[in-house]
Chain A
Amino acid sequence: MNALAGEANGPANSVRETSAVPLLAVRGLRVEFPAAMGPNKVVLQDISLSLLPGEIIGVVGESGAGKTTLARSLLGLPPVPSRVTAGEIVFRGSDLRKLKESELQRMRGKDLSMVVPNPRGELNPLLTIGRQIATIAQVHLSIGRKEAREKALDMLKAVQIPDPTRRFDAYPHELSGGMAQRVVIAMALVCSPGFVISDDATSGLDVTVQAQILDLMRTLAEKQRSAMLFITRDVGITAHFCDRVAVIYAGQIMEVAPRQAFFFAPSHPYTIMLLAAFSHSADLRRRWTVPDVRRRALPGGRGCSYVDRCPLAQGKCRTEDPPFVELTPGHFSRCHFPVVR
């Protein structure tokens, strides 16, 4: 993590929720999944998060924590059959939940876009990649075929695909995974969206390609002043990448911290365990091992959803919902007994 050294005045500290009008503000978002019997399952609850223009927020959590549901819900497409049941998603001043589907559809890919993993499956196998990028530009920017083609070519160049003119006419099956991932990024960014979600986009790639793709996304996002929500299971990625980090567990945000604070002063026991799991210190890993207990099925009952795994749990943790407290400016933790150093 030497990239962090001497960055006290870097983006992590320069970005404050209070300092400007957020581009996207999520408040009290709740997503439920209808159960065959009994009450709905709560997949996400009380999600509040805001992004400034150009800011990059990392969202980390284990699989099943609700990361992808969060990403899709922000675009108004929660995975079927779950539904957003409460909260608001304010983007550039308007609540996306109040928009009609047709209005949302026009915004997707243009103002809010998403980079997805498994890029080869995400591309239409029957169309050339150039055509697929150009079509998005054509649909959203109301430009002609020729202009769209130019734009797509520029985009292929921007994502550093070698020999873009020739690759324009390539089909998805002719590309490597890394190339296809670049194409998916080109499709997500071709309309210069204000907000980009990357949903574990680099998980399927090998490490060197992953690094290239991450750098590329960061550079492009900076150039376009796009805010990014960067969903990942890999804590290491967030270190190099994000201005702030949100830790999500069982459908709740457990901690939000500026990057520096996330790594050097994590407060929630779950965050500490996540970091310990990635740590090189055997001692740290041993002291903060996740006990092998079943996660509580439903968040939303009384008490903390992490209580069964938490080494610091006390009686209160089982009976009272933990508050989401601001420890230092911009650093929030959902814990009765946050670790403070």
Chain B
Amino acid sequence: MNFATYIGRRLLFIAPQLLGIVLVSFLLIKTIPGDPAVLMLGPTATPEAIASLRAKMGLDQPIFTQFLFYVKALLHGDLGTSWQTTRPVLEDLFQRFPATVELVTFGLLTAIAIGVPLGLASAVHPKGWIARFADFYGLSAGAVPDFWLALVFIYVFYTLLGWLPPPLGRIDLAIIPPATVTGIYTIDTLIAGDWEAFASAASHLILPVATLGLINAGPILKMTQATVERMLQSDFSHFEVLSGMPRGMVIRSALRNSLPSVITIIGVLYGFLIGGAVLVEIVFSWGGAGQYAVQGVLNSDIYPVMGFVLFSAIFSLIVYLVVDLIYFAIDPRIGH
């Protein structure tokens, strides 16, 4: 089986997968108590006004009819309107989703940069001080909540030292955000050639990215350490040692054999963090998609929540596809 047919087959499954996700999440969100009509009109509204708004919003229809209307609109690219922002959800998400993707991507890259080398080093020298530090680090990263670490960072680097900007969004308030191309400020400012805006966007990224990176390096570290250790204990590594392969080559081939597991955990984290970084988003007033969805849930604003679920689902499916393609590329046993 070659690459192209493999991708084709995977893409073929994306549409039904998405439909299933939309159906389940629609039903679940609908079961959350709370009537948007009541919330929209406020406590003084008359029952008649509420009933007429419900009818206007289609809330009086059976749930399955509502679902069909939603899917029909979806096929026309309409994700509904948020009653909080009074803007189309699609527009809101196009603005906010890249913010979250930017944050999460840099956070994850940082986590990889910390977790993989540390995990590798502690697998190679299981009794060395690096391994002991890695054990301690893995435990702490699992125990410390991300928002708490974020608050500590803000206190130290903004309040005490004043090195970094206040936790108020993605870019300095006095700086005009760059024209939207990708929605990712660090890229858009570079495209615009605006160095000042780039510096501001980058400096705003440092603390939330460091928070996410340090916390999420934990699972990556553990996975790398455990898998490389197992690979170094495996028969083929022993045989490489018996065949007089230099230590570096033995370690490299163990690492390469560990990559599928490490990439799996990275892929899972990537999909998870789109929603999982919401506390960090809130602490830094990031204005990302996770924050948007939480607001929606709290206010019975169903369309932003659905939109977020849909975007995250597509994002995760793409990530998993890429992960599978990487497996395909590194492991000859897959797909033959």
A45 CB–B CB distance under 8 Å: no
Which positions 238-266 of chain B face chain A at CB distance < 8 Å?
238-247, 249, 253, 256-257
B281 to chain A, nearest CB (A): 39
| Cβ–Cβ contact B244 & A116, under 8 A | no
Residues in A whose Cβ lies below 8 Å from that of B56: none
Indicate if the CB atoms of B253 and A126 lie closer than 8 Å: yes
List A residues 133-172 near B (Cβ within 8 Å).
Answer: 135-136, 139-140, 171
A236 to B238, CA, bound (A): 29
Are B242 and A118 closer than 8 Å at their CB atoms? no
B336: which A residues are within 8 A, CB to CB?
A: 174
Whether B246 pairs with A139 at a CB distance below 8 angstroms is: yes
Taking a contact as CB atoms under 8 Å apart, the answer to whether A125 and B333 are in contact is yes
Between A109, A126, A135, the greatest number of chain B beta carbons within 10 A of the residue's beta carbon is seen for A126
Asked if A113 contacts B257 (CB within 8 A), the reply is no
Cα A286 to Cα B234 with chains together (Å): 42
Most buried by A among B241, B243, B245: B243
* A105, A107, A118, A187: residue with the most chain B Cβ atoms closer than 10 Å: A105
Instruction: Pick the residue among A110, A127, A171, A174 that contacts B244 (CB under 8 A).
Output: A110
Interface string of B257-300 (1 = CB under 8 A from A): 10000000000000000000000000000000000000000000
Report which residue of B240, B330, B331, B336 has the largest number of chain A beta carbons within 10 angstroms of its beta carbon.
Answer: B240
Task: Judge whether A108 and B236 touch: CB under 8 Å.
Answer: no
In contact, B257 and A125 (Cβ under 8 angstroms) = yes
- Chain A residues 101 to 129 lying within 8 A of chain B, measured CB to CB, are 105-110, 113-114, 116, 118, 121-127
The answer to whether B239 and A77 have CB atoms under 8 Å apart is no
User: How many inter-chain residue pairs (CB < 8 Å) link A and B?
Assistant: 72
Q: Which residues on the A side are within 8 Å of B16 (C-beta)?
A: none
In the bound complex, what is the Cα–Cα distance between A109 and B236 (angstroms)?
14
Whole-angstrom distance between the Cβ of B162 and the nearest chain A Cβ:
50
Q: Range of interface residues on chain B?
A: 20 to 34
B244:A123 contact, CB within 8 angstroms: no
Q: Which of A109, A126, A188 contacts B245 (CB 8 A)?
A: A109
Are the C-beta atoms of A106 and B244 separated by less than 8 Å? yes
Report which of B239, B246, B332 forms a contact with A126, defined as CB distance below 8 A.
B332
Given A126-B332, A171-B333, CB of A108 within 8 Å of CB of B242 = yes
Assembly CA distance A75 to B244 (angstroms): 10
Report chain B residues within 8 Å CB of A122. 235-236, 238-239
A107 partner residues in chain B, CB cutoff 8 A: 244
Residues of B217-246 contacting chain A, CB below 8 A? 234-236, 238-246
In the bound complex, CA of A296 to CA of B149 (Å): 59
A173 and B236 CA atoms in complex are apart in Å by 13
Assign chain A's interface to a size class.
Answer: 20 to 34
Q: A136 contacts which of B235, B236, B245, B330 (Cβ < 8 Å)?
A: B245
Contacts of B331 in A (CB 8 A): 125-126
B-side contacts of A77, CB under 8 Å: 241-242
With contact pairs A171-B332, A173-B333 given, residues A139 and B244 touching in the complex (Cβ less than 8 Å):
yes
List the A side residues contacting B245 at CB < 8 Å. 109, 135-136, 139
CB proximity of B239 to chain A, nearest CB, Å: 4
Contact of B236 among A114, A124, A139, A188 (CB under 8 A): A124
Query: What separation, in Å, do the CA atoms of A188 and B243 have in the docked complex?
Result: 7
Q: Taking A124-B236, A125-B236, A125-B257 as contacts, is the C-beta distance between A116 and B242 under 8 angstroms?
A: yes
In the docked arrangement, what's the CA distance between A173 and B336, Å? 10
Q: Which residues of A are found within 8 Å of B244, using beta-carbon distances?
A: 105-110, 113, 136, 139-140
Taking CB as reference atom, which chain A residue is nearest B259?
A126
19 A–B pairs (Cβ distance < 8 Å), ordered by A: A75-B242, A106-B244, A108-B242, A109-B243, A110-B244, A113-B244, A116-B242, A121-B236, A123-B239, A124-B236, A125-B333, A126-B256, A126-B331, A135-B249, A136-B245, A139-B244, A171-B332, A173-B332, A184-B239
Q: A105-B247, A106-B244, A124-B236 given. 15 additional CB < 8 A pairs?
A: A72-B242, A105-B246, A109-B244, A109-B245, A116-B235, A121-B234, A122-B236, A124-B240, A125-B236, A125-B333, A127-B253, A135-B245, A139-B246, A140-B244, A187-B243
Q: Which chain A residues have a beta carbon within 8 Å of chain B's beta carbons?
A: 72, 75, 77, 105-110, 113-114, 116, 118, 121-127, 135-136, 139-140, 171, 173-174, 184, 187-188
